[in-house]
């Protein structure tokens, strides 16, 4: 059986949102708690949360978080958080990492299970939402060094996945999840 690690990217300061999204309450829980619980519910036994902005407050307010690692360069964008997380996971026996963004609360355990069903050291898998590709994203261990080398700014693994498009498998998850991205508070998002 392939060992899969979960990786929650939750380090950002939420500039457009007005606060770190890890600390945003959504349907009764902090977004970071929801993401960690989602991975457990999906059967991912080993997870890691990458924190940055307000990390001490996140650690004190979020109940039951898995181990955390700090991204000291979190202001540079999620690429640095992806690098920090994958580098930390290289110390584990995990053969693949399923990546979640803290600000996508409607990704579900069912979506994670579909993506992780294709896990392996050479796997590159993305959730599919109609014609759009999104999270969860599964990165096989053999790709980690390449992702670490190319993840910059807010692009994360995007450039690496585009460069390896022929290897990427897209799994439809839009019947069990949606790709809502909480970029701004709901009251700002509804303005014309």
Strands 124-129 and 4-9: unpaired
What is the domain partition of the chain in residue ranges? 4-176
pTM: 0.92
User: CATH: 3.30.160.270, 3.90.550.10, 3.90.226.10, 1.20.1090.10. Which one for 4-176?
Assistant: 3.90.550.10
> What are the CA-CA distances from residue 120 to residues 22, 27, 45, 124 (Å)?
29, 34, 16, 9
Distant-in-sequence, close-in-space partners of 115: CB < 8 Å, separation ≥ 6: 98, 125, 126, 127, 136, 137, 138, 171, 173
Contact 103, 42 (CB under 8 A): no
Q: Write the pLDDT tens digit of every residue in 99-145.
A: 999 999 999 999 999 999 999 999 999 999 999 999 999 999 999 99
Tens digit of pLDDT for each residue in 15-27? 776 778 899 898 8
Q: How many CB atoms lie within 10 A of CB 146?
A: 15
């Amino acid at each position: 059986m392939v060992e899969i690690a979960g990786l929650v990217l939750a380090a950002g300061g939420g500039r457009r949102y007005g606060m770190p999204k890890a600390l945003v309450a959504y349907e009764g829980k902090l977004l970071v708690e929801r993401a960690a619980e989602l991975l457990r519910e999906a059967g991912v036994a080993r997870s890691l949360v990458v924190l940055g902005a307000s990390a001490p407050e996140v650690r004190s307010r979020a109940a039951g978080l898995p181990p955390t690692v700090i991204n000291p360069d979190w202001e540079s964008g999620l690429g640095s958080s992806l690098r920090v997380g994958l580098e930390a996971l290289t110390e584990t026996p995990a053969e693949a990492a399923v990546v979640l963004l803290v600000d996508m609360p409607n990704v579900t355990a069912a979506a994670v299970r579909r993506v992780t069903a294709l896990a392996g050291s050479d796997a590159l898998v993305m959730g599919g939402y109609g014609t759009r590709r999104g999270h969860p994203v599964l990165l096989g261990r053999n790709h980690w060094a390449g992702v670490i080398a190319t993840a910059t700014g807010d692009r994360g693994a995007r450039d690496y996945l585009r460069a390896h498009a022929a290897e990427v498998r897209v799994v439809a998850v839009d019947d069990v999840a949606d790709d809502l991205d909480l970029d701004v508070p709901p009251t700002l998002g509804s303005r014309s």
